[in-house]
Structures are given as C-alpha cells and as structure tokens.
Structure 1
Amino acid sequence: MTEKTKPVLCILGPTSSGKTALSIGLAERFQNVEIVSADSLAVYRYLDIGTAKPSLEVRQRIPHHLVDFLDPRERWSAYEFRREALRLFREISLRGCLPVVVGGTAFYLNTLFHGIPGWGAPQDRNLRRVLERMPTEKLYALLVSVDPYRARKIGKGDRKRLIRALEIFLLTLRMPSEKRTPCQRSWTFRYLLVGISWSKEKLRERIRERVEEMFRQGIVEEVQHLFERGYRPPIPALENFTYRPVVDFLEGRCSLATAKEEIVRGTLTFVKRQMNWFRKMPITWFSPEDGNLLKLVEEVYHFVRTHLEGE
C-alpha cells in the first residue's frame, strides 16, 4: 500500500514560554491551520484558568482539538492522546490544512514521536489485572470492536488469548492482527519541531507573572465552582501542581501566599523535566527575549514555509 507522508508542525517549549500565543499567531498567518493540543490538563472541562486554554472566541475562530472535552473525574492517557492525535492528523490533512501540535506534556509527545516502547510484545501488570476481572464475553465484545478479524480467529472461549490480544491493542494502539505487518500503514507523518526558548531568569519571571495572573483571573473561584458541581478531590483534574495548592488553600491547609508559592515551585520543577526531554529532540529554537510576539510569529512563519516548500 502506498504511504502518504504529511507534515505536522509541533510548537514546543516549557510552561509559560508562549506556545499558545505563537500557535494562534501562526494560525492567523497561515489561515489553513488546525491545532491539536498536547496538554494533559487542557482536556478537562470547567477548568480554564489554571490550564491557560485559549478563549472560547479563539477556539471558535481557529479549530482546536483535544481541548475542553473530558469530565474532571476521568483520566486521559498518553496512549489515548497518540491514538486521537494520529486520527486527527489524517482528518486535518485530508481537509488540506496543516496540523499543528501545541503543548508541553513530554510523555504525550514522546509517545507521539516514538510510539509505545516494546510494542512487539508489550506487557503491563495493572492493565492485565483490569482485563482479568472482566467476563469472557465482555473481553470478546471489546476485541470485536477494535479487531474483528483477530476476534474471529481466537473465538469466544479462549480467555487467555483474548486478554493477550486486548493487551497488545491497548499498549500499542494497533490491531493485534496487524502486529506482524506494521509497514501496511497508509499514512506516515513528518514532524517539524520548533521551540520557544527564554533565559532561565526571564522564564522564572514569566512563570511568577502567570501564577499571579491566574489568581487575578479567579482560579480560586474556578475550583470553588467545580466543587459546587459536585466534583471533589481526589479526582484526576485536580491531582497536579497547579490545582492541588488551590485545593489545599480552600480546605484550610495553607495560606494564599503559600498556595501561590507552591504552584511556582511545582511549575519550576516541571520545567526542569520538560527541558531535560526537549534537549534530546531535534528542535529548532527561537528566542523572543525582546517579547515581540509579532516578530516571533514572522520568524517562525518564514522558517516553516521555507522548510515545507523545500521538501
């Protein structure tokens, strides 16, 4: 089967570097861009301030995907992200648009670029325990829904092989019947990685400013409203360095000043992990130290156009 190779632009960088602003500027410049978020918190409904989602007006004007769709009680994994991102890349490319990935969740991006490690014979004890608790008829129905060919080959009664086939699918996002012929995929993507880089001092300043702005915008009230909707910790949407200190403040375990400092401290720790991962990637970095967004957008726009037209 002939493969179709399509470009995907990825805008990377540490938290508070300005990825969202750059992506919106580029979308307005290109005019045929759809944005795919690679942010593990932006998926959640009702949480807009701490996740720094683009405004609803922007999302209505520029197509955004994998933003503001998940219930705060649910979990969103890197495997689900990769599956949905690849599907979206195909659909966006078929519409004649350029997919643009924006985000800094390194595990999501690593899974997107490199796939799931050990895909030939994956094993996961926790996943297997979940599958083993399911009745055999449920296992068979699940396999039929993702790989009917393999389900028919195994049959309804072979519980051990049904579990193994589902384990392969859930860990690799490929049908078990295709595991010996990965070359048959009809779509491949080439990733162009651009990043926003600031000096350590400037980035710390931007992070502190962002945290102060979140509280001015009402992150405390945002979490209160979530509580009023019946969502109480522990839930996945609040199990992170941004929202956990706000919960602690609301429940009387710390002061407002301490909550702010905890968010700054958690963000700085997260940024260190991000940068360790980014250093391993073939990223072309842009440094907008003068803070001129229009200049940055133009620089990246011309770089991307030159790169894509040269291929």
Structure 2
Amino acid sequence: MDNAPENTLVVLGPTASGKTALGVCLARAVNGEILSADSRQVYVGLDLCSGKDLHEYREGGAPVPYHLIDIAPISAEFSVFHYQQAFYRCFEDVLERGCMPVIVGGTGMYLDAALRSYRMVEAPENPALRRELAGMPMAALADRLCALKPALHNTTDLQDRARVIRAIEIAEYARDHAPPWA
C-alpha cells in the first residue's frame, strides 16, 4: 500500500453522519471510485440496518462506481483479514483505471488494516489449542496473549474470552509460520 497516503481520499465517521453523500461528491470531483470501509455493508442483504445508501451513488449526476459492498453472504465469516485482501485488489484496480480511491466508512479497524498495511495471516482454527485454553482463567489468557506480541494486541478486548482465545490462536500461528526475514 505504498500509494495509499498520497493517492487516496478518506471519509471516516460515525453512523448517519453523511459520509456517503460527501464521498460521492468528492468522487465526482476527482474522478474517483468509492471503496467502502464498513464492516456491515460487506454483507449481501444487510441493507436496512447497515445504512447502505446505494441510491446516493446514482443520484445527482453521473453514477459513481463503488466497491466492497455486498461482497459476502450474510452467513459467511468476514474478518479484517478478508477485508484487507479484498481492499488491496479493489484499490489496485481503481488506480489502474486512473481513478482516485475514495474510502468511505466507519469501521476504523478496516481502514487501519488497509492503509497501515497490517501484516496479517490467515490462521486456521486450532481445536487442540482451543481445548487447552478453554479451562484457563481470563487473567492467564491475557498474560499468554501479551507474552506473544503485546504491541500487536493492545486493542484486543481482554474481557471477551472468545476474542482472546482467537488472538492467541492467530499469534501462535503467525509466530510458528513467520517467514525467515520477519
């Protein structure tokens, strides 16, 4: 994502704050295309509760192309890793067309993962590790996670048992499968 900072506009804000309308206006002004950064708008059929204002991409002028909306079935697990991979493909496609990426959304973690190029791995579930961790107290789980890579997990919700266990699972997989130069 070397091109992101100087070749990208970002509209980030809370729900119902006018992000889509502003993003569409900006995209029209700079020959841009919208890349959604919304964790709910990725799901097909989750229209009303996700604030998909798809009509705004067509109203008031030439239609504005948009991406990363309606790309996963509602039954699918769609993580930050999946978003990052889809974002990179769309971002490069937009640049190849000579257009300006305009990122619009309210999911800061999606935006951070995309623009700060988080090094992410697709770690499979590890049933044996999950069984091992299942009986541990939360404090022990938090200690184990922090011992792995405290800087990477400073935003993990240490009160959510499932998230802490998944974070340990990912961190241990990444540690065990790191490339030699990492």
TM-score (norm 2): 0.60
Say which structure is richer in helix.
Answer: 1
Question: Is the counterpart of residue 36 in structure 1 residue 35 in structure 2?
Answer: yes
CA RMSD of the aligned region, Å?
A: 3.5
Deviation at 1:130, TM superposition (A): 6.1
Give the total of aligned pairs: 134
The superposition leaves residues 217-236 of structure 1 with CA deviations (integer Å, 9 ceiling, x where unpaired) of xxxxxxxxxxxxxxxxxxxx
Are the aligned partners of 2:41 and 2:47 in contact in 1 as well (CA < 8 Å)?
Answer: yes
Name the aligned partner's letter for residue 50 of structure 1. C
Counterpart mapping for 1:236-255 below 5 A? none
What is the letter of the counterpart of residue 75 of structure 1? Answer: E
Shift >6 Å, 4+ stretches:
none
Query: What stretches of structure 1 of length at least 5 have no aligned partner?
Result: 133-163, 182-311
Q: Percent identity?
A: 34
Distance 2:122 2:74 in 1: 28
Task: State how far apart, in whole Å, the 1-side matches of 2:90 and 2:100 are.
Answer: 11
Match in the other structure for 1:129:
126
Residues 219-274 of structure 1, C-alpha deviation per residue, up to 9 Å, x if partnerless?
xxxxxxxxxxxxxxxxxxxxxxxxxxxxxxxxxxxxxxxxxxxxxxxxxxxxxxxx
Per-residue displacement from partner, 1:155-212 (whole Å, max 9, x unpaired)? xxxxxxxxx9xx54xx9xxx976x638xxxxxxxxxxxxxxxxxxxxxxxxxxxxxxx
Structure having the higher Rg? 1
Q: In the alignment, is residue 48 of structure 1 matched against residue 50 of structure 2?
A: no
Per-residue deviation at 1:79? 0.9
Q: Could you give the per-residue CA deviations for residues 121-162 of structure 1, whole angstroms, max 9, x where no partner exists?
A: x796xx351699xxxxxxxxxxxxxxxxxxxxxxxxxxxxxx
Give 1:159's aligned residue: none
8 Å Cα contact 1:33-1:99 kept in structure 2: yes
Q: Is the 8 A contact 1:8 1:89 kept in 2?
A: no
User: Structure 1 residues 176 and 34 mapped into 2: Cα distance closer, same or farther (>3 Å)?
Assistant: farther
**C-alpha separation in 2, matches of 1:24 and 1:90:** 19
Q: What is residue 75 of structure 1 aligned with on the other side?
A: 77
Tell me the distance in 2 between the aligned counterparts of 1:103 and 1:14.
Answer: 8
Which residue of structure 2 aligns with residue 112 of structure 1?
114
**Equivalent pair of 1:11/1:19 in contact (CA under 8 Å):** yes
Give the partner amino acid of 1:70: A
The 8 Å contact of residues 20 and 56 in structure 2, kept in 1 or not, is answered as: no
Q: Which runs of 5+ in 2 are unaligned?
A: 130-169
CA distance in 2, matches of 1:96, 1:108: 24
1:16-35 to 2 correspondences below 5 Å: 16-30=16-30, 32-35=31-34
Contact 2:12–2:108 under 8 Å retained in 1: no
Distance 2:22 2:90 in 1: 21
Partner of residue 196, structure 1: none
Once the two structures are TM-superposed, the CA of residue 115 in structure 1 deviates from its matched residue by 3.5
